[in-house]
Structure 1
Amino acid sequence: MKRKTLSLQCAIILFCIVLSACRTGPQQPGLRQSTGMYQYDNETKSVGVRKTGPYYSDRQAVTGKNGMVASAHPEASRVGVDMLKAGGNAVDAAVAVQFALAVVYPGAGNVGGGGFMVYRDRSGQAYTLDFREKGPEKAQKDMYLDSAGNVIPSLSITGHLASGVPGSVDGMVEAHRRFGKLSWAQVLQPAIDLAEKGVVLTEREALGLNRTKKSFLAVNPDKRYFMKPDTTDWKTGELLIQTDLGQVLRRIQAQGRAGFYEGETARLLVAEMQRGGGIITENDLKNYHAIWRDPLVGTYRNYKIITMPPTSSGGVALLQLLRLVEPYPLRKWGWNSDSTVQVMIEAERRVYADRAKFLGDPDFVKVPVQELIDRNYLKNRWADFSFDRATDSKNVKGGNLPGYESLETTHFSVVDKDGNAVAITTTLNGGYGSRVVVGGAGFLMNNEMDDFSIKPGVPNMFGLIGNQANAVAPGKRMLSSMTPTIVEQEGKLYMVVGTPGGSTIITSVFQTILNVLDHGMTMQQSVNALKFHHQWLPDKTTFENGAFSDETIRKLQARGYILEQLTNSLGRMDCILFRPDGTLEGASDPRADNTSVGY
């Protein structure tokens, strides 16, 4: 009788649990929701990459005690961890990862592009390195306009004239010179091996090369780089060997900076420019140098944010966004509730308007960084905001500052056993850059010239509007959205974060940080979480399928917000979180081949 009573009680309890689950709606296995916070149960063992609940997938985090590398490709992450195991520090690993990505991830990894590095050493000292590309010495303000002053379609995007002077190699040389422990030859060797022995193509890489075959042939009619000898399509698991690129890497290994910016590689690059009507010269290459800049540092709630200053717009925009939403109870409102989303959209609207008006290369124009992140200034930016109605972007301009005169990218994060941390975002700009492959060298050139404002008020390939501050000029670095960032908690390393994504980089990093700090997600959950984006113009909010509930959509539309559901995804995050128990949580994006490796 007691067994029957117990069975009945268990059945009633089970029914109540099921009924409660039905009332609260479907949730991710092992997920519980409480006060806007999402947490995995400790006993959950689920893995995979399916979309579920508020997440793109239920991918689980990777943990490690002695080091972690999160990058866009499993081979690159493996190379980075091998450097750490060999006694290298985070910078050694980062340099090795950068060159490995140039081999295994040709769509964005590069020696023909540029980027930014944020580095925090074990003592808490922070440094930022700007190795962004530059306009060639023959660059002119109106070089992409016709005689009537109209933009010539695609001239700044495809072909030889679209390329700026590359900065990636000099950036890695400079980072290693200042902070590396292992020999330069040692950190270059893994990339050389991958180029000469071959890399096994993932499904995504095979598809990418197949899709761009026609454009490669159009821009490089006399070359067969990134194509199979029999001209058939690539298949997953096949081996891509890059002999010419391997020789370039060997010259860089033997000669350092001179192995790229002088000698045979420089000769090949300049010859390629001359062959296709490009304007990069030997002087451009000799005169290029990465530059150390003062980190941009601010706070959000009780956290310290260390991020990239201009030439990147990302750090300024990120601090503006965080400080604009800081007065609001996002945690109480909950993840992607209508109120949370509304203040985030309105903050983004104002920040991207400021970006268009004020941001550019600080070596050429006055960039009012401290004024833009000032809390009183940001408070005034809310003056025309109302919860009742969406602000019309046509009525939003860059703010007023007294005395002021007027896609494809990749990110990786590294933390070593001593607590040194590196966040690097690097790019060719669009996928496979300008599609120009340097003959005899086998590497792709960037199409970063499109990141200049080629005509004030005319959007670039990412829809971003620019002004005179970002006009084309010789020797000038074009504005970027890259946002490599490190977060501290109570003086200790807490988070390393970044992503590719063109204009969406800033908002993806913004959301990923908020997901952890305000909504209680783990690092991997924050990366998995569905995202949205607004950039002032065009005046619409794009979002991943499932990012907004039906109720949120209904409420936002009733207030006049234009919402557009994406057929693709947002972000390719590669992040690391320092957990309270001292372990590192590597969180790489399930939306692509991104992989974290720790030990």
Structure 2
Amino acid sequence: MKNYFCKEHLTALLFLLTVGFSCQPEEKATGLLAENAMVVSAHPLTSKVGKDILQQGGNAIDAAVAVQMALAVVYPQAGNIGGGGFMVIREADGQYHSLDYREKAPLAASRDMYLDDKGDALPEKSQNGHLASGVPGSVDGMVKVHEKLGSMDWSKLIDPAIKLAEEGFELSEDEAAYFTRASENLKKYSSVDPVQFTGKAWKVGDIFIQTQLSHTLKLIRDKGRAGFYSGEVADYIVAEMERGGGIISLEDLEKYESTWRNPLTGNYKDYTIITMGPPSSGGLILLQMLGIMEKYQVSNQGQAYADYLHLKTEMERRIFADRAAFMADADFYPVPVDELLAEEYLSQRFSNFDPQSATPSDLIREGNILSMSEETTHFSIVDKKGNAVSCTTTLNGGMGSKVMVAGAGFLLNNEMDDFSIKPGFPNMFGVLGGEANKIEPEKRMLSSMTPTIMEKNNELFMVVGTPGGSTIPTSVFQAVVNVIEFDMGMQEAINEKRFHSQWKPDQISFEKDFEREDVLETLRKKGHELSERNGIGRVDAILVLEDGILEGGADPRGMDAASGY
């Protein structure tokens, strides 16, 4: 039987073969590209605020102050003036800085303040209400970083936040639903009903105005540090404490100071990592993981991806055990940083790794030292001159302690839960604590925040960080590996599904809708228990491409947005 093709048939077949049947690679996700400067943060309005400051001639530090203050208005579940955080800075000339504006335990705090008469832990008291709050550090931190490295007038950096509070902003559907859900807890734990939040069932399109917060921001604008830590606002904080049984005093507020610390630095192949040291554990965890992984070849192709995830999980189990034993505020406890990062220690730590089998967490303990909120938010900024800021800030849990300071209009943190309220008892993120991180007056509680800047061959390469409690350092690690080892762009690396493990509980958490069932099955065969969950982290990052163009990657798991020019 003969087959006959007319000219039209042949043309159609050729078209199908070259276009319709071709196996073209799926188009990769690309973030916002900008030639001069970039801001990536948790909210479109705050990213715009930062970009506007940069376009007015401000530097990355100026933009960071403006973004921090604006987040307190439009992202109250984590953005704050009643919390604290960490900032890592790389100046265009290659100088590094890190600022610790983490909260402190009040002077009246004590080791067993969250234990009952039988010695049992009372996590409700460390997580909700007035007693859960540490002394806030955000305002002092912004004043200090502006005094040292800022270039614009202070008042111009606070004005955008004041405008957003005074005039209000339009709520999205998710924001309206979140505020409505949060209203009952705010009523329950605040000493005075915060009617600006609780006065109605919010709906999409409503304008959210915060008059009391606007007044507080004006005092900070006009008086700087004194506008928060003394005078009217300080009196409001202390009055709130007295009504609700808290312990933050005027003396606590007057004595609080943020601290410049030496950044933690390390190397991975051709890259230099500049990150945060104690009282953040995140930088140490990141550098330990990269230090171990440098000896392994990893891939995201086929079954090799399961082998990589197995390797990552085994690293996490050992390193989070180290976190519980050795990491705390270095002003109160001699954190063995050099020893934890030593090549010999890391080799010893990983000597019992089995590529084919999971190690039960009960068999893992801290190593032998050789010589001795999820509701957080992050923003990344690069300015036209090449100055870079990586900043992670938090109230700890969503809406912090759920306590609104009556008269001042801002929420207080619940960071006291980040101490070890009882050795071996998990905090709200399931992370176990030890004696090193016990509660002491004026001590900073241990954190997992991991603001990070990377260089490649001494040039700026990446600015990265994320919220997510204990998942923070592992999310940053995955973003870095996705770019460096798996050849992804910034947005593509952020979009990739994430995995997390942390010693205990003895499981791997993975994001829902992960489609590679063969990878999951291989992990099960290696002995891992798997637990599906919603999104892990919200990475906001900037990648400097080979041609110098900035790619801003904003996490699609939230409202996060990049803004640049």
Both proteins in one fold, TM over 0.5: yes
8 Å contact kept, 1:544–1:569? yes
- 1:226 deviates by 3.8
**In 2, Cα distance between equivalents of 1:521 and 1:332:** 11
What's the counterpart of residue 593 of structure 1? 559
Counterparts in 2 of 1:242 and 1:332: CA distance versus 1, 3 Å: closer
Amino acid paired to 2:79? G
**In 1, Cα distance between equivalents of 2:345 and 2:137:** 34
Q: C-alpha offsets along residues 533-553 of structure 1, whole Å, 9 cap, x if unaligned?
A: 000000100001243621111
8 Å contact kept, 1:408–1:500? yes
Equivalent residue in structure 1 for 2:85, among 98, 105, 115: 115
**In 1, Cα distance between equivalents of 2:266 and 2:172:** 39
What's the counterpart of residue 446 of structure 1? 413
- 1:335 deviates by 9.2
**In 1, Cα distance between equivalents of 2:304 and 2:440:** 41
Counterparts in 2 of 1:528 and 1:333: CA distance versus 1, 3 Å: closer
Matches within 5 A, 1:2-401: 4-13=9-18, 17=22, 30-31=26-27, 40=28, 60-220=30-190, 222-227=192-197, 229=199, 231=200, 233-331=201-299, 337-401=305-369
What's the counterpart of residue 573 of structure 1? 539
Amino acid paired to 1:86? Q
Counterparts in 2 of 1:336 and 1:189: CA distance versus 1, 3 Å: farther
Matches within 5 A, 1:432-511: 432-511=399-478
Q: C-alpha offsets along residues 518-562 of structure 1, whole Å, 9 cap, x if unaligned?
A: 001100001111101000000100001243621111111111100
Amino acid paired to 1:535? Q
Q: C-alpha offsets along residues 332-360 of structure 1, whole Å, 9 cap, x if unaligned?
A: 75697111111011111111111011000
Amino acid paired to 1:195? A
More deviation, 379-388/302-311: 379-388
8 Å contact kept, 1:162–1:434? yes
Query: Helix, strand or coil: the match of 1:156?
Result: helix
- 1:417 deviates by 0.2
Query: Helix, strand or coil: the match of 1:495?
Result: strand
- 1:309 deviates by 0.5
Amino acid paired to 2:344? N
What TM-score do the two structures reach when normalised by structure 2?
0.96
Query: Helix, strand or coil: the match of 1:423?
Result: strand
Amino acid paired to 1:458? F
More deviation, 536-545/60-69: 60-69
Counterparts in 2 of 1:495 and 1:2: CA distance versus 1, 3 Å: same
- 1:565 deviates by 1.0
**In 2, Cα distance between equivalents of 1:565 and 1:198:** 38
More deviation, 366-375/202-211: 202-211
Amino acid paired to 1:540? Q
8 Å contact kept, 2:107–2:441? yes
The gaps in structure 1 that reach 5 residues or longer are 22-26, 32-39, 41-57
Q: C-alpha offsets along residues 474-514 of structure 1, whole Å, 9 cap, x if unaligned?
A: 00000000000001011100100000000111111010110
**In 1, Cα distance between equivalents of 2:406 and 2:10:** 81
**In 2, Cα distance between equivalents of 1:334 and 1:496:** 29
Amino acid paired to 2:138? S
**In 2, Cα distance between equivalents of 1:140 and 1:527:** 41
- 1:402 deviates by 3.6
What's the counterpart of residue 530 of structure 1? 497
**In 2, Cα distance between equivalents of 1:114 and 1:408:** 13
Q: C-alpha offsets along residues 31-61 of structure 1, whole Å, 9 cap, x if unaligned?
A: 3xxxxxxxx2xxxxxxxxxxxxxxxxx5x41
**In 2, Cα distance between equivalents of 1:507 and 1:93:** 27
Q: C-alpha offsets along residues 132-160 of structure 1, whole Å, 9 cap, x if unaligned?
A: 00000000000000010001241100000
**In 1, Cα distance between equivalents of 2:513 and 2:234:** 48
8 Å contact kept, 1:350–1:381? yes
**In 1, Cα distance between equivalents of 2:122 and 2:9:** 81
- 1:16 deviates by 5.0
Amino acid paired to 1:208? Y
**In 1, Cα distance between equivalents of 2:57 and 2:19:** 53
8 Å contact kept, 1:225–1:437? no
**After TM superposition, what 4+ stretches of structure 1 lie above 6 angstroms from structure 2?**
none
Q: C-alpha offsets along residues 564-587 of structure 1, whole Å, 9 cap, x if unaligned?
A: 111x11111110111111211111
**In 2, Cα distance between equivalents of 1:141 and 1:220:** 25
Query: Helix, strand or coil: the match of 1:117?
Result: strand
Q: C-alpha offsets along residues 65-84 of structure 1, whole Å, 9 cap, x if unaligned?
A: 11100000011000000100
- 2:505 aligned with 1:513, yes or no? no
- 1:386 deviates by 0.7
Q: C-alpha offsets along residues 269-312 of structure 1, whole Å, 9 cap, x if unaligned?
A: 01101110000000100110000000100011111100001010
Measured on the aligned residues, the alpha-carbon RMSD in Å equals 1.5
8 Å contact kept, 2:299–2:305? no
8 Å contact kept, 1:134–1:165? yes
Query: Helix, strand or coil: the match of 1:422?
Result: strand
Amino acid paired to 1:474? P
Amino acid paired to 2:529? I
Amino acid paired to 2:289? L
8 Å contact kept, 1:117–1:425? yes
Query: Helix, strand or coil: the match of 1:429?
Result: coil
Identical positions, percent: 50
- 1:217 deviates by 1.1
Equivalent residue in structure 2 for 1:422, among 369, 374, 389: 389
Amino acid paired to 2:358? A
**In 2, Cα distance between equivalents of 1:107 and 1:570:** 17
- 1:219 deviates by 1.1
**In 1, Cα distance between equivalents of 2:420 and 2:52:** 41
- 1:246 deviates by 0.6
8 Å contact kept, 1:532–1:547? no
Amino acid paired to 1:282? L
- 1:325 deviates by 1.2
